[in-house]
Amino acid sequence: MFIKYLGFCCLKDKSSSQRQYPTVIEELCHQFLLDDLKKSTKNFDENQIIGSGGLGIVYKGSLQHNGVTECTIAIKQICGITEKELKEFKNEIELLCQLRHPNLVTLLGFCDHEDEKNIVYEYMDNGSLHDLLYCRDVKKESLTWKQRLKICIGAAYGLHYLHTGAKRTIFHCDITPYKILLDRNMVAKLSDFRISLKGPHYASKPKPKTISNDGFKVLLEMVSRIRIMFIKYLGFCCSKHTSLSRRQYPTVIEELCHQFLLDDLRKSTNNFDEKQIVGSSSFHSVYKGSLQHNGVNECTVAIKRMHANTENKVKEFKNEIELLCQLRHPNVVTLLGFCYHKEEKITVYEYMNNGCLHDHLYRSNVKREPLTWKERLKICIGAAYGLHYLHTGAKRTIFHRDITPYQILLDSNMVTKLADFRFSLKGPHYASKPKPKTISNDGFKGTYGYVAPEILENNILTEKCDVYSFGVVLLEVVCKDKLKDVEKRQKHPVEKNIDPNLKGKIAPECWVVFMDITERCLMFDPNERPAMGEVEVQLELALSLQEEADMRNTSDDYTLSSMTVLN
């Protein structure tokens, strides 16, 4: 999924950056073992070579993920390890680990071994634009005029993002048909950032940059002030590497998070007019706002304004910013920035047109049609994707700690987005053996009815606590709040409490799979609960079975003969 993102200039705020945050490379870049890369390329077999030039040789490789799923990758092996080449190697990693755009090649990680320097990228099935223009593969059809235009447009999107979409302008410095790669869908991706440079802050007045090494100057005019970022992110576990972290890199929040002026947020909400409120709790109010850029383009945003500035609430405020500014996933809400004012603490997010899952289940807006069964399944699958990413897709496991229908938001296309990371915690490194995390007695967070029993009993927190909460949500999707209480669901069959809007709409074969995974999520023993990866697979299977049944059955209602009591 491509996420539309409007970026704004970031003003550094000392009060929010006094805390020691990790460096960008430490948090965002994954280090591969040399043995794994050798295995994936058959010890760098010449038959695996798909390109060469510039910094090194490019191999096609295949890496196993979780011992099951294979991922095809491109591995660039550095030919020499001179001081200049090492500088270019580090430069590309530092830049690409921070850049996220569908028209830029995705950096998956690197290997900084004493004898080998390798960079790992997503694999581009259709090679480079140069290959297609000069028809190196005679089996491939020549590009049509419309295909060429679309490729140029994609490359222009990528270059526009480099010039205007990050905190500082990026000069690519080597745009040629060799650097424009094409994926399996013929989407253009800019590549090769080894000689790229950071220019001035985007919000500042652009100035030429003098490059001394070759004695020439590069002047790139910033022709547009509109920042548009489409984020595509494949998460992998990350690991710290000392040799690359000795250099003083900027902190994650400094590089990735934007600070808004309070006056701009007041203006965008008509001075926090109550009519602009789209959600609230005892701790905050959420306003719908409209931020104007260059006096022309408007972007609708959600602005969460804290009610209290207590020490605990400020800690939660900072915690959400630190986590969300690093997370990139189509099923996690996008943080656009924040305002850290002495009197106001505000976070700004992409706007979710369709509210939260809770509103749809309980129809707070009676004008809305009830969610169909397949819509509910798709929402659950999206939430499972997001939660799976939190548990396995970053350097360290993220425990959400408050999975409820209120925290599952829906955008204009009904795509699920997990929200509200105030209570979230970082767990162990994903690659390490998972260990339970003990939280203090006053550290209890969550919503009654959704909290796993082991937290209530002994304050033990693992990713399986989120799995339990998600199981309660799955049950609520079919029964609303009728069986949220443990005692009720131990006495009353689920089938007797199904939402009337779903009666006759659920295929029996789909129901068996859905209820099996729901029951397993709600197991008392956390070790018996499935991982979120398995949950998403089973939910996808349930949806597939429902769609197959609907193709066969076009008129009759379904009958569920089972009686499921959850122990």
CA separation, residue 393 to residues 196, 198, 379, 532, 547 (Å): 28, 28, 20, 12, 29
Of residues 318, 316, 347, the one with CA closest to residue 333: 347
User: Which stretches of 422-565 are DSSP H helices?
Assistant: 453-458, 463-479, 486-489, 508-521, 532-552
What is the arrangement of strands in the sheet containing 117-122, beginning at the earlier edge strand? 49-53, 56-65, 69-78, 117-122, 107-112
Instruction: Return the axis-axis angle of helices 508-521 and 532-552, rounded to nearest 10°.
Output: 170
CA 505 – CA 511 distance, rounded (Å): 10
Structure tokens at 257: 């998070």
CA 118 – CA 34 distance, rounded (Å): 8
Of residues 525, 544, 426, 532, the one with CA closest to residue 474: 532
Structure tokens at 415: 């795509």
What's the pLDDT at 220? 29
Token pair 């989407």 is found at: 187
Catalytic residues: 402
Topology, domain 354-566: Transferase(Phosphotransferase); domain 1 (1.10.510)
Of residues 362, 299, 384, 378, the one with CA closest to residue 336: 299
Structure tokens at 353: 């047109």
Q: Can you give 92-130 as a three-state secondary structure string? A: HHHHHCCCCCCCECCEEEEEECCCCEEEEEECCCCCEHH
CA separation, residue 159 to residues 104, 155, 163, 188, 425 (Å): 9, 6, 6, 11, 36
CA 37 – CA 108 distance, rounded (Å): 12
Residue 222 CB burial class (10 angstroms; 0-12, 13-18, ≥19): middle
User: Consecutive 10-residue runs of the chain (567 residues): their mean pLDDT?
Assistant: 31 40 59 89 91 81 64 86 85 84 87 87 91 73 91 91 77 92 93 87 52 35 26 27 40 72 94 93 90 66 91 91 90 93 92 94 81 97 95 88 96 96 84 61 74 90 95 96 83 92 96 96 95 94 95 89 88
26: CB partners within 8 A, 6+ apart: 238, 240, 245, 249, 395
User: Which stretches of 142-235 are DSSP H helices?
Assistant: 145-164
Angle among Cα 105, 1, 280 to the nearest 5 degrees reads 125
Angle among Cα 173, 179, 180 to the nearest 5 degrees reads 120
CA 390 – CA 396 distance, rounded (Å): 9
**Position 350: which residue type?**
E
Could you say which of 2.40.110.10, 3.30.200.20, 3.30.43.10, 3.40.1360.10 is the CATH number of the domain covering 250-351? 3.30.200.20
What's the pLDDT at 8? 31
Asked whether the domain spanning 354-566 has the same topology as the one spanning 250-351, the reply is no
**DSSP string over 428-450:** EETTSPP--EE--GGG--S-TTT
What's the pLDDT at 20? 46
CA 381 – CA 537 distance, rounded (Å): 9
- Taking domain 2-10+21-202, whether its CATH number is 3.30.450.40 is answered by no
What's the pLDDT at 501? 93
CA 363 – CA 369 distance, rounded (Å): 8
Instruction: Give the DSSP H or E segment for 280.
Output: strand 277-280
What's the pLDDT at 213? 43
511: CB partners within 8 A, 6+ apart: 560, 562
Of residues 241, 538, 480, the one with CA closest to residue 359: 480
CA 247 – CA 240 distance, rounded (Å): 13
What's the pLDDT at 432? 58
CA 50 – CA 47 distance, rounded (Å): 8
Structure tokens at 469: 């909460």
Structure tokens at 543: 């949806």
**DSSP string over 371-389:** PPHHHHHHHHHHHHHHHHH
**What backbone torsions phi and psi does residue 18 show, to the nearest 5 degrees?**
-70, -30
Domain ranges of the chain: 2-10+21-202, 250-351, 354-566
Angle among Cα 92, 187, 300 to the nearest 5 degrees reads 85
274: CB partners within 8 A, 6+ apart: none
CA 534 – CA 503 distance, rounded (Å): 27
Q: How many CB atoms lie within 10 A of CB 41?
A: 22
Instruction: Give the DSSP H or E segment for 317.
Output: helix 311-324
Residues, the chain = 567
